[in-house]
Amino acid sequence: PGRVVTLLEDCGACTWGVAYEVRGEQVAASLQYLNVREAVLGGYDTKFVEFHPQEKDAEEPILALVYIATPQNPSYLGPASEEDIAAQIIVSSGCAGHNIEYLLRLADFMRYFCPQAEDKHLFSIEEALISILPCLYYTEESLEET
């Protein structure tokens, strides 16, 4: 358990990311897996949205499936300050790994693949996490040396 990227319904908002195309026999298996992971276990609502590819040859938006969090979701932690979110991330891990790695990889992904997206919330959480981390690694010996 921990913090994950969570989409909230907001008609005027824009979300940057990657869309994956699934074809043929993989469609049914992928949808079944995602439905269990995101809707049944995760408590998210399933929605279709328009996805606008960055490729210059993409003429029209693509219909994409997303999972939206609702406040009724029992796992939904709700809004919090960037510092509180960073503190939750630092102490959280699950079967997919530690939340610290998840956040840092997400921030790196956004910088590399979506440099035009200015996700101040994400980068503020990353900054708060990085400022907290050194405090966790002090030992009595290192404190005596200072």
Q: Which of 25, 41, 76 corresponds to the end of one domain?
A: 76
Q: What is the pLDDT of residues 115-135, one digit of tens each?
A: 998 899 999 999 999 999 887
Q: What is the pLDDT of residue 95?
A: 79
Residues 44, 17: one domain? yes
Q: Is the pLDDT of residue 46 over 90?
A: yes
Q: Which of 57, 76, 95 corresponds to the end of one domain?
A: 76
d(CA 53, CA 31) in angstroms, rounded, equals 22
Residues 114, 137: one domain? yes
pLDDT category, 138, cuts 50, 70, 90? low
CA 45 to chain centre: 16
Tokens linked to 45:
């609502």
Residues 92, 33: one domain? no
Residues 88, 113: one domain? yes
38, 59, 118, 144: the catalytic one is 38
**Plot region of 75 (φ>0 → left; ψ -120 to 50 → alpha; else → beta):** alpha
Q: What is the pLDDT of residues 75-126, one digit of tens each?
A: 888 889 999 999 999 999 887 889 999 999 999 999 999 999 889 999 999 9
pLDDT category, 139, cuts 50, 70, 90? low
Residues 1, 71: one domain? yes
Instruction: Report the domain count for the chain.
Output: 2
Residues 90, 66: one domain? no
Specify which residues 48 forms β-bridges with: 65
Q: Which of 55, 76, 97 corresponds to the end of one domain?
A: 76
Q: Is 9 a catalytic residue?
A: no
Residues 104, 59: one domain? no
Give every CB contact of residue 84 below 8 A, 6+ residues apart in sequence. Answer: none
State pTM to two decimals. Answer: 0.80
Residues 52, 95: one domain? no
Helix (H, G, I), strand (E, B) or coil at 98: strand
Residues 65, 105: one domain? no
What is the domain extent for residue 54? 1-76
